[in-house]
A and B are shown apart, each in its own frame.
Chain A
Amino acid sequence: MLVDSPPEASAESAPAPPNRRAIRSAGLLVSVCVLLLVVVASIAVGAKQMSLDQVWHGLFQDTGTYGDVVVGERLSRTLLGVLVGVALGLAGAVLQALTRNPLADPGLLGINLGASAAVVTAISFFGVTSLSGYVWFAFAGAAVVGAAVYALGGTRNATPVRLALAGTALSAALYGYLQAVMITDNAALNKMRFWTVGSLASAKTETILQVLPFLVVGIVLALGLARPLNAMAMGDDTARALGAHLNRTRALSMAAATLLCGAATAACGPIMFVGLMVPHVVRSFTGPDMRWILPYAAILSPVLLLGADVIGRVVARPAELQVGIITALIGAPVFIFLVRRRRLAQL
């Protein structure tokens, strides 16, 4: 037979009883603790192994010893990882709710490719070589494509299908452009092939400072969208009947997603899988309520991202595997397992 097992989700879409809420709050707390553990691991583990004492010393009594410098560098790397993780998780959750499409991610809506195309333009035509230089191009590219997708999808009556189609269309055109430049310009190719796998390795304090404002605004915006997105999940007509501002919610969601994806992609390249996967996993145990999905996604996405980064530093020591590769190699099997376990197609 081909019919899926009866959707277990039906039990979870019912209003949560009070004890359920307590469990979810406790789960959130546990998630925060896990995140803290991963943060410590991210600072302690690497090509040079650090003891907790050394980590403590580096963090709080920085005297400029070699160990303290290592801790300092790892600290900015970890900080960037947390920020980018939060951004990707929230952006994925918002986009999936907005498009009512479990396949929606920054990649599908073309935002990643917008950033990539802008970076390749910066490298190839403007001779920009430093990260701090092309951060701005990447961000502008993501923002322009995000706006274009939204404009093409229709500002007044955007439907999930049209948004996804607009994203796919723009991605295709941008990908053609990207490849044309990479084929004709070896210097751009040489930069791009490292940038496009996604890595935290080049994290610097200035990078963080450059993307931080955008990320903060995006995070606040995304977290504030929980209620409107919940209303929209019931379908346009019902949502409208309930007094939801459909188009305002859509516009704000696109703005939040663009800010988050653009800044994250600019800082460390397109890391595609986190935003697609974490909201899926979260939804499987919180149910469809965005007021739970968003905080959980915001906490668990950096766990995945930093964990992947640590693994990448350990498995190929003293070299390292880029975090974008690890997240995909870990994420894909988990994702496939989830797809097999239950019907994720329904949002």
Chain B
Amino acid sequence: MKAIRTRGGLSFRLDVRTAVVVAVLIVAALAASVVLIGTGDFYIPTADVIRTLLGNGDAGQEFIINDLRLPRVLVGLLVGAALGLGGAIFQSISRNPLGSPDILGLGQGSTAGALIMIVLFQGTAVQVAGGALVGGLVTGFAIYVLAWKRGVHGFRFVLVGIGVSAFVTAINGYLLTKADLVDAARAVVWMTGSLNGRDWDQVWPLLVLCAILVPLVMTYARPLRMLEMGDDVGYALGVPVERTRIVLMGSAVLLTAAATAAAGPVAFVALTAPQLAKRLTRSPGPNLMPAMFMGATLLIVADWASQRAFGADQLPVGVVTGVLGGIYLLWLLVIERKAGRI
């Protein structure tokens, strides 16, 4: 940890290890992106990918890369980043590593919105995305209102989230039994989380949202860190406790809902990215930045794995993140058990 002070009286603290981790993650995400862009039915060598991205490619490659593969990769990066950041905020506020959007039911809420569009209205892709966004926001709002009792407190928040999640899951199950088989198959693919066929239409809204929310969230990183010591400590240190929580939670809900609208409820990224980031930085804080880049890296690598292992469009990325996430947790258990830490 280093304190950096400028002459104007500004000062901020820089954790060297965290900075290195973030830098490494950014490089890894970019490298994985380049590899992913080259992967597919039509293989493009890495050198050509980089040349084309810099604007010097030939026409054929430019079409494949800029129109087909780049937007998909960008959606993957943005969705991963949004899920990682949203997960880190939720886990930090609930002070519980299981307090991620998956467990709280935000993904289920988005799924309900999307299922209503698919099953009841046979909606287009854009309508499904809109339904997912609305569903996620309504669910987030409902959890907040139901958990509110002179403020929103950690454990009650997670428990209410689980209750809401169960409620929405039941509705989803009912909608699935109502659907005819074609709609049900479409719904299940959506519910798994997939980047197939994503294009620039999905990139822009996500990009704009991230451009607004990420800086906003980062300005609250320090108050959030203090809140991890408890509300009373937060008050004593002069943190605007409730405002911090409202702004951060609102942002996390929006990020998660938007990510889900774009790619479906991709399993496990929001749960694992903050935990992995925490292990790499060895820093107790909320680790917002590392979690964000970890999420982006994870999702891109998982998408690459799903394409390499099963051929493009065969298995959606959500299957891979689910399986990888499970294996990661199992590995973690074995390691921690050997080290005697849990």
A residues bordering B, Cβ < 8 Å?
A: 1-4, 102-103, 152-154, 159, 161-162, 164-166, 168-177, 179-180, 182-184, 186, 189-190, 193-194, 196-197, 272-273, 276, 321-322, 324-329, 331-333, 335-336, 339-340, 343-345
Contacts and interface: CB of A to CB of B under 8 A. Distances in A.
A157 to B, nearest CB: 9
Nearest to A336: B163
Given A193-B176, A324-B170, A340 B156 contact: yes
B188 A179 contact: yes
Interface string B298-342: 000000000000000001101111110111111011101100001
A179 B325 CA distance: 14
A102 B296 CA distance: 33
Contacts of A327: 170
A180 B327 contact: no
B146 A190 contact: no
Contacts of A197: 170, 173-174, 176-177
Interface string B129-162: 0000000000000000011011111011011101
B164 A332 contact: yes
A2 B231 contact: yes
A344 B179 CA distance: 38
6 contacts: A164-B98, A169-B328, A180-B315, A193-B173, A276-B162, A328-B166
Interface residues of B, number: 59
B173 A324 contact: yes
A173 B167 CA distance: 24
Given A172-B326, A173-B322, A179-B192, A322 B177 contact: yes
Contact of B170 (A169, A179, A328): A328
Contacts of A321: 174
Contacts of A177: 323
A323 B327 CA distance: 33
A103 B146 contact: no
B241 interface: yes
Contact of A165 (B162, B167, B315, B332): B332
Given A165-B329, A173-B330, A180-B319, A329 B167 contact: yes
Contacts of A343: 155-156
Interface of B: 98, 146-147, 149-153, 155-156, 158-160, 162-164, 166-167, 169-171, 173-174, 176-177, 179, 181, 184-185, 188-189, 191-192, 231-232, 241-242, 267-268, 315-316, 318-323, 325-330, 332-334, 336-337, 342
A169 B329 CA distance: 5
Given A1-B150, A172-B325, A196 B166 contact: no
Contacts, number: 171
Contact of A332 (B163, B185, B330): B163
Contacts of A172: 267-268, 322-323, 325-326, 329
Given A2-B231, A189-B185, A335 B158 contact: no
B91 to A, nearest CB: 14
Contacts of B181: 186, 189-190
B323 A173 contact: yes
A331 to B, nearest CB: 7
A226 to B, nearest CB: 25
Interface centre among A184, A197, A326 (most CB of B within 10 A): A197
Nearest to B188: A182
Contact of B241 (A2, A331, A332, A339): A2
Nearest to A332: B167
3 cross-chain pairs, A with B, having the tightest CB-CB distances, nearest first? A173-B326, A176-B322, A169-B329
Interface centre among A103, A164, A174, A331 (most CB of B within 10 A): A103
A327 B267 CA distance: 25
B170 A339 contact: no
B166 A335 contact: yes
Contacts of B267: 172, 175-176
A161 B328 CA distance: 16
Nearest to A2: B151
Contacts of A196: 173
A43 B35 CA distance: 63
Contacts of A103: 98, 158-159, 162
Contact of B342 (A162, A170, A175): A162
A266 B82 CA distance: 38
A170 B232 CA distance: 37
